A and B are shown apart, each in its own frame.
Chain A
C-alpha cells in the first residue's frame, strides 16, 4: 500500500533509534530505518512509501512507514 505523506520529522522519546513523521493533522508515522539525511528534527519532508503492517516496533507510536523516496521541503 503506497502512500504519500507530508509532515515534520520528529524524534519521539519513546525508544532509542526511533524516528517519526508527524502530519499537519497530527497523525504520527514511525519511519522504518530512515536514511540519515532525514534524521533531523523539525525537517519538513514529503515522503513516498508503503505501510508495513508486518513490522512491529518498540516505540509503538503509529503505523510503520517504509520510505521509498523523499523530498525535503525548503
Chain B
C-alpha cells in the first residue's frame, strides 16, 4: 500500500511540474491577434485583408503607423479566431499569426482610483499581494448587509443571512456594510473603481444592523454562530456599543473554538477603552489611524486595543477618508464614498487576517500573534493608542509564511536569487530553461510531500541538493566570461544527470550519470554527515524528478537510444532514486 502512496506522490510531483510548464506556456491573455504579412506578397495583402474582413466580420488595422514597413496588422479575436486564421489559406501570405499578448505588471492594480487609497500603501499591501490575495478564505461581514455594487461584481460571495428581516438575501440599505466589504474584498485589477485587500477571498454578507445603523445583540450573536457554522474563516464586526453580554461572549467563544478569527472596531467616542465586542477576549480590537499614521481623532484607545489600522480622518476633506464603492443610502445607487471610523480600520485587519489565513495559518490565536508581531510598533504609546502597532500586511504575510510552509520560503529564495526572474527565460535564450526550472519546483513539491510522511529538519543542504539533482544552476550556462573556459559554468549549470553530456560535449544523456548510481554513492558516503546527508537526500529527490521528467520528455540516451528501453531505464531509475530517498529519510529522527 505504501508503495502505491509513494508512486502516487511521485506522479503528483511529476505532473505538477509538467502541468505548471504547460500552464505557463498557455497562460497569456489576449484579445487581439497580430498578422505579420510577408514582404514578398505585398500585392496580395489588400485582397487578403478584405477576405478577413468578409469572413470574420472584423476590420484588420495596421498595429501602428510604424507597422507599415513590416506589414503587421491587428484584428480583434480570441483563441478560436486565432486557430481559424492559422488554418485559413491566408496563413500562407504571412510570416506569422500570433496572439497579441497583453503584458501588465502584477504589483500595482489597474483600478483607476487605486492611487487614492493611501490607506493600502500605509499598510504596505502590495508586497503582500505578490504572495497571496486571500484565495480560499471566507470573510463574514456582520454589518448592514452588502449591496452588489459594480465594483464587487468580480468578488465571490457565499450565502449569508439577513437577521433583521429574517431572509436569506442580506442586501444593504445603509451603505456601511458594503463599504466595509469593499475594503476587505473589492474587485481588484478589474479596470474599475478601487481595490480591496483580500480580493480573492469570498464574502459572506450577514445583516444585523438596520437602515438606521443599529441592531440587537441577540441578532449579532446569532450571526456570529451562523458564520462559524458556515465555514467562515474571519469575521469582521464594524459595530459596537452597549454593555457586556453573555450571549455575545458565548457566541464569540464558540466561533473562536471553531477556528474563526474575529476582528472588531474599537469605537469612535475618543474614550479610554474600546467598546464591546472589541473588548472581549478572542476578539482583535482595532483602533483607527489617520492619513499621517497617528491616532485618528475619534478613535477609542486604552483597554481592548490590540492593533491599529487606517480608519481615515476627513478633518481636511474626503481625501483623508477611506474610499470604497458602496451605495448612497438616500437613493440606493452605487457611489464611491470616503468614510472614516474605526469601522473602516477593522476591515483592514480582517482583510490582512484573510491573507494570513490564506498563507496557511489556521489557528486564530496564531493569526492574532502574526498580526501583532508583524505590526510596526509605535514607541512611547503610554495611553495604548495603537496596541501592538500599525498594521503591516507585507510583514504579516512574510511572517506567516516563515516557519510555516517551506515550499514558499524556497520559492521566495529561488525568486530572490533570480531563478524566477522572467528575464532569465525570456531574454536569456538558453535552451530548455523552463523544464529545468520546473524540475527544481517539482522536486521541491515532492520534498514537501516527503516531509509530510517523513519528518526531517529542513536544511539548505537539502535545497542545494534538490537544485543540483534536478536542474542545476542552469542560468549559468548562458554566461560567457571573456577569455575564460566556459566548461566550469556549464558543469555547475547542469543537473548532475547531465554532467556526462558536459564531459562528452554532446546532448546525449550518459546512463552512468543519469541513473541512481551517483545518488547511491552520495547517500552511502554522506549518510553519517549531518549537513552532507541533507544535500545527498536533496540530490536524490531532485534526480528522481529529473529522471521522471526525462522519461516523459524522452531525450536520447547513450547506448539505449530514444525508444521504450531508454524511457524504461529512466523511469526505473527515477523510482529507484525515490526509494533511496525514502530509505535515507527513515534514518532521520523528528526533532523534539
Contacts and interface: CB of A to CB of B under 8 A. Distances in A.
Contact of A16 (B240, B242, B329): B329
Nearest to B142: A56
B314 A55 contact: no
Interface string A13-50: 11111100000000010101100000000000000000
A55 B143 contact: no
B399 interface: no
A59 interface: yes
B91 interface: no
Contact of B343 (A15, A17, A28): A15
B528 interface: no
B216 interface: yes
Interface residues of B, number: 39
B565 interface: no
B268 A56 contact: no
B212 A32 contact: yes
Contacts, number: 104
Nearest to A55: B214
Contacts of B241: 30, 55-57, 60, 62-64
Given A15-B341, A15-B343, A60 B175 contact: no
Nearest to B314: A13
B392 interface: no
Interface size class of A (residues with CB under 8 A): 20 to 34
Nearest to A27: B269
B469 to A, nearest CB: 58
Given A56-B239, A58-B209, A13 B340 contact: yes
B28 to A, nearest CB: 44
A52 B245 CA distance: 12
Contacts of A54: 216-218, 242-243, 245
Interface in B174-230: 174-176, 209-218, 220
Interface in B282-309: 298, 300
A74 interface: no
Contacts of B143: 58
A61 interface: yes
Nearest to B321: A13
Given A58-B144, A59-B213, A17 B329 contact: yes
B269 A56 contact: no
Interface in B354-406: none
Contacts of A64: 214, 241-242
B273 interface: no
Given A14-B268, A15-B213, A64-B214, A57 B174 contact: no
A57 B265 contact: no
B242 A52 contact: yes
B501 interface: no
Nearest to B143: A58
A59 B344 CA distance: 11
Contacts of B298: 14, 61
A32 B267 contact: no
Contacts of B211: 17
A55 B176 contact: no
Nearest to A19: B212
B242 to A, nearest CB: 4
Contacts of B119: none
A53 B218 CA distance: 12
A53 to B, nearest CB: 4
Contacts of B268: 12, 14, 59-61
Interface in B254-270: 265, 267-269
Contacts of B276: 56
B155 interface: no
Contact of B215 (A14, A53, A55, A60): A55
B213 A16 contact: yes
B510 interface: no
B324 interface: no
A54 B265 CA distance: 17
Which of A13, A17, A63 lies at the interface centre, i.e. has the most chain B CB atoms within 10 A of its CB?
A17
B344 to A, nearest CB: 10
Given A32-B214, A54-B245, A56-B215, A16 B340 contact: no
Contact of A60 (B144, B243, B269): B269
Contacts of A58: 143-144, 174, 176, 209, 213-214, 238-239, 341, 343
Contacts of B217: 54-56
Contacts of B340: 13-14
Contacts of B300: 60
Contact of A18 (B213, B240, B267, B342): B213
Contacts of B314: 13
Contacts of A18: 212-213
A17 B212 contact: yes
Which 5 A-B pairs have CB atoms at the shortest separation, nearest pair first?
Answer: A53-B243, A60-B267, A53-B242, A57-B214, A60-B240
Interface of A: 12-18, 28, 30, 32-33, 52-64
Given A14-B343, A15-B341, A56-B217, 12 more contacts: A13-B314, A13-B340, A15-B343, A16-B175, A16-B329, A17-B329, A54-B216, A55-B241, A57-B240, A58-B144, A58-B174, A64-B242
